[in-house]
Amino acid sequence: MAAVISTLTNFITYLNILYEADSTTPASTEEDYLVWTELANIAISLWENEEGVLWKELFVKLADAATGDKTVTADDYSYAVPTDFKFPASGYVWVGTAPNATAFRILKQEEVQLFENDTGNWCYFLMDTSPTLEFNPNCELTTGYTISYMYYKKASKVSTGSDTFEMSDPMFAVYYALAELKKEEGDPLANAIATQKLEAMKTRNVMPSHFQQNRIENFVEGGFGT
């Protein structure tokens, strides 16, 4: 039966079978469990930061985030973003409720100084140690309106047995950890399998679905053109 990995418990179970060749997994307080968990998190970090790849699993909606400001408050033009926020995933922030929401164009930080006296609908993400969403202080915001945008999140780490992996094939993490544990033995097989798993995820990440259009959209302010 093929391995089905989704949680840290699954990861520990399969890694134990491959490394120790027995069915008795270490308890969560044992050194092996703790070390293997850290190896899983290293694998997650390597996956998250793979050069040139934006993983589909890490594109999320503000509405689904546990943190971050989601509504406009009176006389406030600065809003907290989710704690897992990495960078915006689209060119607009929307304020209000569809189909009557207003689009606020996202500027780059360095462009803001060019719009000091502008009253248009624009905003930017201030990417310091505590990122915030900053709206044009000269524009009009309606108190109570919903703020919505897509963003690219930081990958979640695992620590407890029920924590889940976000990557589409967590067997990459299993074989990465196995390769690290067997490094001194000079066995290249686990590392080769881990590399293959990562490459396969990269391929799937860019594959379009059946009948999915693959063209450049003709986008105009406020919606799509024809």
In this prediction, residue 123 has a pLDDT band, given cuts at 50, 70 and 90, of very high
CA 134 distance to own-chain centroid: 21
Q: Is the pLDDT of residue 2 over 60?
A: no
C-alpha triplet 184, 174, 191: angle, nearest 5°: 45
pLDDT at 224 over 50: no
Section 119-130 average pLDDT: 95
pLDDT tens for 142-169 read: 999 999 999 999 999 999 999 999 999 9
The predicted-structure confidence for 38-50, as pLDDT tens digits, reads as follows 999 999 999 999 9
Whether residue 57 contacts residue 167, with contact meaning beta carbons closer than 8 Å, is answered with yes
- The DSSP code for 188 is -
Convert the pLDDT of each residue in 68-111 to its tens digit: 999 999 999 999 999 999 999 999 999 999 999 999 999 999 99
Encode 75-97 in three state secondary structure: CCCEEECCCCEEEECCCEEEECC
d(CA 177, CA 39): 5
Burial class (CB in 10 A: 0-12, 13-18, 19+), 17: middle
Q: What is the mean pLDDT of residues 181-198?
A: 94
Q: What is the pTM of this model?
A: 0.88
Question: How many Cβ atoms sit within 10 Å of the Cβ of residue 130?
Answer: 9
Least confident of 16-30, 180-194, 208-222: 208-222
Sign of the torsion angle spanned by Cα atoms 151, 152, 154, 156: positive
What is the pLDDT averaged over residues 127-153? 96
